[in-house]
Structures are given as structure tokens and as C-alpha cells.
Amino acid sequence: MFDLSDHVSIVTGGNGGLGLAYCRGLVKCGAKVAVWGRNEAKNTEAIAELREMGGDVEAFQCDVTDEASIAAAFAQTLERFEKVDSCFANAGGAGFRGMSHQVGRQAWLNAIDLNLMSVVQTWAPVTEHMLAQKIPGRLIVTSSIAARAGSGGAAGYSTTKAAVIGLVQALGVELGQAGIRVNAIMPGFIETEMSLDTSQAFQDAAHRRSAIGRIGELEDMEGIAVFLASRQSDFMTGQGVVLDGGASVFPL
């Protein structure tokens, strides 16, 4: 059912963490993958791993906060793969930490640039390509359960991850009749470098709140990437899919 042969995906931040997990799932189902990442060394390592799995993959250096860098990476992707069927806007970051009223305007603007405008800028040329080529494409963004639950001391992260849900809903309406589906993945606590760069108390709470008795592993993210990239998700758009081991419904 989930055969992605002849499918081409872009995964921003695909050289590590959640992005690399998406790439693994896509490659396992036959997709060709363009990894966009800033760190050349990490790009090289990721590509080596994915090719060892049999993947037809390429890495392109890209800073998703820079429109010129995005344009160059997209042109290189088309030159290499000729088309794009899905784009995972995964690159982003935690942003500032601290009391929101104390961090200042620039810290807020940086968070917006990193986690919201990067998605808008990444999807712009991809959407134009899909519309021009009449590709029933897939736009997927990595949001977070923090978009719903909030995250004290990291208001910029929660706010921008909520903002991309609004973007997904709006673009789902805008692009639906063109055959383009737009959805968000909303992970809970998954073992990544970013999530483990938190307090022990926070990590302990994540374990306690899991309805299934464990926190998320990177392998848990592979299937949702494949589903949202595939035609099996054709009746789904404008949605945020929560993957949190039931933490958001588990009573304290």
C-alpha cells in the first residue's frame, strides 16, 4: 500500500533528529529524498546512512531562514530529481528560553523567523512548482504538542509551533482543490538532541505522562511521514496529527 517509488521528497533539517527519521521511513518505502541542511558534515553522514539503506538521496546545503539559500537548494533539487512530490518543512529550533516579557523584541522575531517564516519561505517555491506541474503534492510541517499544551519559559517555541498549525489550516483550504494536501506532525517528547537538552524534571514528567509507558523514539516518526507523503492521506488536509504516546490525554 505504501509504495513511494518515483516519489520525490524534500526534508529540511533531514540530516538529524526527526528529519532523519522521516527520511528513513521515506527511503524504506522507495522514495527519493533531497536532504536540506546547514551542516555539511551532518549532511554527509545522513546521506551515507540513507544510501546504505538503498536510498536514492542527495544533500543540499541550505539555511531555511534565507530565501536565496532556499532558492538555490530548490533549483539544485529540481536539477537532480526533476520534480518534488512532497516537502517536509522540519528545520527549526527551540528559540529563546526565559520569561517572555523579558527577552525583548529581537528574540521574538528570531523565533518567528526560525519556526514560521522558514516554513512559509520553504513552501513558496515548492507550491509554485506543484501548481505549475499539476502535482497532487504534499506539504508537511513539524509542529509540536507544545502548540496546544504551552511551554513555560519557551513561549516563542509554543507560539510559533501554534502558528504553523494556523498556516496548515489556511493552506489546506487554499490548495485543496488543486490536489495539494497540507498537514502538520505534532510530536510529544521524542528522544532527540533538542528534547534531551531539557531539565531532568521535564524529562521525568514526560515519562510519567506517557499513556503507553515510554517516551517516543525516532523510529516512531517514520510511519507518519510515509502516510502523509502518500496518496493514502488524500482525504486528509489542514490537520495536526499528534504523536505523543497518549500524553495529552493521560490523566495525572
Cβ(247)–Cβ(148) below 8 Å: no
**The pLDDT value given to residue 188:** 85
- Whether 195 shows a pLDDT value over 60: the answer reads no
Q: In this model, does residue 199 exceed pLDDT 80?
A: no
- Cα–Cα distance measured from residue 245 to residue 243, given in angstroms and rounded to the nearest whole number: 6
Q: Is pLDDT above 70 for 250?
A: no
Q: What is the dihedral of CA 194, 199, 200, 204, to 10 degrees?
A: -80
Catalytic residue status for 22: no
Confidence of residue 71 (pLDDT cuts 50, 70, 90): very high
Residue 152, pLDDT > 80, answer: no
**According to DSSP H, which parts of the chain are helical?**
17-28, 40-52, 67-81, 105-112, 118-133, 146-149, 155-175, 193-196, 200-209, 222-229
Give the SS3 label for residue 150: coil
Catalytic residue among 60, 157, 189, 227: 157
pLDDT band at 208 (very low <50, low <70, confident <90, very high): low
Q: Which three cell numbers stand for residue 181?
A: 494536501
Residue 193 has pLDDT above 90, yes or no: no
pLDDT of residue 198: 56
pLDDT in tens, 31-62: 999 999 999 999 999 999 999 999 999 999 99
Q: What is the mean pLDDT of residues 230-235?
A: 97
